Chains A and B, each alone.
Chain A
């Protein structure tokens, strides 16, 4: 009798626990869904608004003024590639080398200082970084330039790339480093040939995410790269970038330019998403190859 009762009680308890489990699972599922909704919404909306304006001309033509039909964003596309590319050339070497040092000497005064200042730097609003680049590059040269834009983006790029690289280097087992040193490899060889390759996946992902982050920066571009309706590859001249083009088109009072702003936004989102996906694929492909080897 009592056995049957306790059995029933345990069954009720089990049912309750099962119910709570299901409830919580669906709640977390719902929360995840809410987290994804904005992204899906943005992508779908921009695709719908911007997709219909896309054509081959849009990628190969220069912009046209109001009242002249057609026109594209080839100058902004190439401009963004150049500005972000130069920013990478500046930021990535600095970030990698600094990360190697910080990962190796986390408690030295310099290591602490570098970590602390990158944390502070990553919290600085990007428009302030733009003003910094304006004061540092534009004012002395008396000239807006693509290079000034790259400097601004490089400053924004260093903290995330440095911190990701550092974290990734920390994940490399200590045995590997000790083994390398025990075999007589010098410090720099250990860093370059053992630590960096072992952490490469994470580092590449960090770099890609850093690029994706700065590719969409508008505020620091306005007073550095400035914008340019003509085609330009001269680093000392103003240059158009995708986010700045979106900004100019979006605040205009013209329907045609609004449509172009959406289409440009679509191109930018596609590029950033593509970069993110490429980063994941690259990681996946490398891990698989390492495992097979």
Chain B
């Protein structure tokens, strides 16, 4: 009898000990220094980092938000762990809407969103500031054969309002005069345009519909600008991969996707006429030109739409992605790490952005952003 009681007592104590030790062992060292990938000499440091005495209290800064910047942010935080091993940034891509909701509920230390917060969202989270990190471009991608039956690999040019009219269902055929006049060298077929759009709420849709609203009064009035809209025509696909999948399966299909995704997957994409009437390639320079066009007007909100930029060398459909941070922080240690990280991201971090086809901030924008970052306080005191 006695043995059993003792056994039960031991069991309970053991269970408690497990819980307590698990709670106490903040960042237990895992010593698995297996051969680190040669590409990143410092990556071994990530694994070994927790063993250093300074890291015994390694801080975790948590963030949540959009999927569009996720590949870049995860790369940044991975690299930054070697720059400052005393802090770990944990970013989870739960969507822009989720990111805004979580930072409003203060369950995360920073949020992330591709969409610009509207007034009611900002009112719900007093003191929340948007910081642009990088930008991305959106391109129209298509799958089409010419009148001879050969796949069209040449870049089709889309006049300024053509995409709006196609997505409104006004332009129905590939050989519509609007398109044939802009593309005299391409034998566009007499085929229906199969319009493809995102089925999920997305920052890409926000930027694309923002563009359509700017160039077409009809679009602005009938459909508007949001992360998901009531599409007048077309098929839906989830995510960039969903849209490009639907485009790939349907001859005559046209969809909008992120440039980074199009480049990585070698998809055919067209050019869009900008506000000054020029067709420019969607390069880093062309998007930075668009950013610079609006750079001086960002104001206190640090958030601005950069679609339909007026510059001659500007790509017309692009947008910023933002990190959401409270201007007055409550945890000073985390606040310092977060601002230090953002400064790094806007300087040394830009190489990873370029590598992953994101567009870093031009100097004009960076200056504005850095000065705002310097105004972050902790419990009312400057950092």
Which A residues have a C-beta under 8 Å from some C-beta of B? Answer: 56-57, 60-62, 64-71, 74, 82, 85-86, 89, 138-139, 142-144, 189, 192-193, 222, 226-238, 248, 251-254
Which residues of chain B are within 8 angstroms of A236 by Cβ–Cβ distance?
23
> Given that A64-B43, A139-B105, A144-B108 are known contacts, is A229 also in contact with B74, CB under 8 Å in the complex?
yes
B170 at interface by CB-CB < 8 Å: no
Q: Are A248 and B356 in contact (CB under 8 A)?
A: no
Q: Are B18 and A89 in contact (CB under 8 A)?
A: yes
Tell me the count of chain B residues lying within 8 A, CB to CB, of chain A.
Answer: 52
Q: Which partner residue on chain B sits nearest A71 by CB separation? A: B37
B122 at interface by CB-CB < 8 Å: no
In chain B, positions 133-178 with a C-beta closer than 8 Å to chain A are none
Which residues of chain A are within 8 angstroms of B93 by Cβ–Cβ distance?
248
Q: Are A234 and B15 in contact (CB under 8 A)?
A: no
Known: A231-B30, A237-B26, A253-B240. 5 other contacts (CB 8 A): A64-B37, A64-B78, A70-B43, A143-B107, A248-B92
Q: Are A253 and B241 in contact (CB under 8 A)?
A: yes
Q: Are A231 and B107 in contact (CB under 8 A)?
A: no
Assembly CA distance A143 to B64 (angstroms): 12
Q: 5 A–B contact pairs at CB < 8 A?
A: A57-B35, A62-B46, A89-B18, A229-B78, A231-B50
Question: Which of A64, A65, A193, A232 interacts with B4 by CB under 8 Å?
Answer: A193
Q: Which DSSP category, helix, strand, loop or mixed, fits chain B's interface?
A: mixed
- A-B pair count, CB < 8 Å, reads 123
Assembly CA distance A62 to B1 (angstroms): 48
Which residues of chain B are within 8 angstroms of A56 by Cβ–Cβ distance?
34
B382 at interface by CB-CB < 8 Å: no
Assembly CA distance A235 to B92 (angstroms): 18
> Given that A89-B15, A139-B107 are known contacts, is A253 also in contact with B261, CB under 8 Å in the complex?
yes
Assembly CA distance A253 to B90 (angstroms): 20
Q: Are A138 and B30 in contact (CB under 8 A)?
A: no
Which residues of chain B are within 8 angstroms of A252 by Cβ–Cβ distance?
70-71
Q: Are B92 and A226 in contact (CB under 8 A)?
A: yes
Q: Are B32 and A234 in contact (CB under 8 A)?
A: no
Q: How far is the CB of A154 from chain B (nearest CB, A)?
A: 13
Q: Which partner residue on chain B sits nearest A93 by CB separation? A: B15
Assembly CA distance A248 to B67 (angstroms): 10
Q: Are B75 and A67 in contact (CB under 8 A)?
A: yes
Q: Which partner residue on chain B sits nearest A189 by CB separation? A: B1
Q: Are B81 and A65 in contact (CB under 8 A)?
A: no
- The 5 closest A-B CB pairs, nearest first, are A65-B75, A65-B74, A70-B37, A60-B32, A66-B71
> Given that A67-B75, A254-B71 are known contacts, is A238 also in contact with B94, CB under 8 Å in the complex?
no
Question: Which of B18, B26, B47, B78 interacts with A61 by CB under 8 Å?
Answer: B47
Q: Which partner residue on chain A sits nearest B31 by CB separation? A: A60
B276 at interface by CB-CB < 8 Å: no
Which residues of chain A are within 8 angstroms of B349 by Cβ–Cβ distance?
none
B106 at interface by CB-CB < 8 Å: yes
What is the 8 Å Cβ interface bit string for chain B, positions 7-50, against chain A (1 contact, 0 not)? 00000000100110011011110101011110110010011001
Q: Are A227 and B90 in contact (CB under 8 A)?
A: yes
Q: Are A68 and B75 in contact (CB under 8 A)?
A: yes
Q: Are A57 and B34 in contact (CB under 8 A)?
A: yes
B62 at interface by CB-CB < 8 Å: yes
Q: Are A138 and B71 in contact (CB under 8 A)?
A: no
Assembly CA distance A60 to B43 (angstroms): 14
> Given that A67-B355, A233-B27, A234-B23 are known contacts, is A227 also in contact with B92, CB under 8 Å in the complex?
yes
Q: How far is the CB of A143 from chain B (nearest CB, A)?
A: 7
Which residues of chain B are within 8 angstroms of A189 by Cβ–Cβ distance?
1
Which residues of chain A are within 8 angstroms of B25 by Cβ–Cβ distance?
233-234
Q: Which partner residue on chain A sits nearest B79 by CB separation? A: A65
Which residues of chain A are within 8 angstroms of B108 by Cβ–Cβ distance?
144
Q: Which partner residue on chain A sits nearest B74 by CB separation? A: A65
Question: Which of A61, A65, A85, A229 interacts with B90 by CB under 8 Å?
Answer: A229
Which residues of chain A are within 8 angstroms of B71 by Cβ–Cβ distance?
65-67, 252, 254
Which residues of chain B are within 8 angstroms of A62 by Cβ–Cβ distance?
46-47
Q: Are B356 and A67 in contact (CB under 8 A)?
A: yes
Q: Which partner residue on chain A sits nearest B35 by CB separation? A: A57
Assembly CA distance A108 to B19 (angstroms): 35
Assembly CA distance A234 to B56 (angstroms): 12
Q: How far is the CB of B43 from chain A (nearest CB, A)?
A: 7
Q: How far is the CB of B95 from chain A (nearest CB, A)?
A: 11
Q: Which partner residue on chain A sits nearest B12 by CB separation? A: A93
Which residues of chain B are within 8 angstroms of A253 by Cβ–Cβ distance?
239-241, 261, 264-265
Assembly CA distance A85 to B15 (angstroms): 10
> Given that A231-B27, A232-B27 are known contacts, is A68 also in contact with B40, CB under 8 Å in the complex?
yes
Which residues of chain A are within 8 angstroms of B70 by Cβ–Cβ distance?
252
Q: Which partner residue on chain A sits nearest B46 by CB separation? A: A62
Assembly CA distance A233 to B18 (angstroms): 12
B222 at interface by CB-CB < 8 Å: no
Which residues of chain B are within 8 angstroms of A85 by Cβ–Cβ distance?
18
Q: How far is the CB of B20 from chain A (nearest CB, A)?
A: 10
Question: Which of A68, A74, A222, A238 interacts with B60 by CB under 8 Å?
Answer: A238
Q: Are A65 and B78 in contact (CB under 8 A)?
A: yes
Q: How far is the CB of B2 from chain A (nearest CB, A)?
A: 13
B214 at interface by CB-CB < 8 Å: no
Which residues of chain A are within 8 angstroms of B77 by Cβ–Cβ distance?
65, 229
Q: Are B240 and A66 in contact (CB under 8 A)?
A: no
Q: Are B15 and A230 in contact (CB under 8 A)?
A: no
Which residues of chain A are within 8 angstroms of B261 by Cβ–Cβ distance?
253
Which residues of chain A are within 8 angstroms of B30 by Cβ–Cβ distance?
74, 231
Q: Are A61 and B22 in contact (CB under 8 A)?
A: no
What is the 8 Å Cβ interface bit string for chain B, positions 261-274, against chain A (1 contact, 0 not)? 10011000000000
Which residues of chain B are within 8 angstroms of A67 by Cβ–Cβ distance?
71, 75, 355-356
Q: Which partner residue on chain B sits nearest A78 by CB separation? A: B30
Q: Are B4 and A192 in contact (CB under 8 A)?
A: yes
